[in-house]
């Protein structure tokens, strides 16, 4: 069975989840909106509820969550800063340290660029401050 592309008037899987008696809770879940209707229909209410709880529990996010898109040239870049209480276990931290190492060429150049930009802004601020005080 193939799934045909739909227009804006068709019911989304999230709408179908709310029509199935799961009022509001799973309908707002982004994961259900991305599932194909046939897959969503094959899940029991208990499975839908368990998936919803698993996704929303981990989706609470850190207290500091800064996401910026910087379009300096023809390409757009993004910068994400996350900070909060560490809740990952030791095994997961070791896995992620291996998967996302800190010492990479890109991270080195980013750090150098950050330091250069910081000191350039500090010099500009110092020059403006000196001109205001006429030193």
* pTM, 2 dp: 0.50
- Tell me the average pLDDT across 94-109: 93
Per the prediction, the chain carries an average pLDDT of 78
Give the residue with greater pLDDT, 1 vs 110: 110
CA atoms of 90 and 87, how far apart (whole Å): 10
Residue 60's pLDDT is 66
Q: Are 1 and 38 in contact (CB under 8 A)?
A: yes
Q: For residue 84, give Cα distances in angstroms to 62, 87, 102.
A: 5, 9, 18
Q: Are 49 and 22 in contact (CB under 8 A)?
A: yes
Q: Kindly tell me if the per-residue pLDDT of 59 is higher than 60.
A: no
Q: Look up residue 72 and give its two tokens.
A: 């300096």
């Amino acid at each position: 069975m193939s799934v045909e592309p739909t227009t804006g008037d068709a019911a989304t899987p999230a709408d179908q989840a709310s029509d199935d008696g799961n009022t509001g809770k799973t309908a707002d879940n982004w994961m259900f909106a991305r599932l194909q209707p046939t897959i969503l229909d094959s899940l029991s209410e208990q499975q839908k509820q368990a998936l919803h709880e698993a996704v929303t529990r981990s989706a609470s996010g850190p207290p500091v969550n800064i996401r910026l898109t910087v379009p300096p040239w023809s390409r757009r870049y993004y910068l994400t800063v996350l900070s909060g209480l560490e809740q990952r276990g030791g095994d997961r931290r070791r896995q992620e340290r291996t998967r996302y190492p800190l010492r990479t060429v890109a991270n080195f150049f980013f750090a150098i660029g950050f330091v250069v930009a910081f000191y350039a802004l500090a010099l500009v601020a110092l020059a403006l401050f000196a001109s205001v005080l006429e030193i």
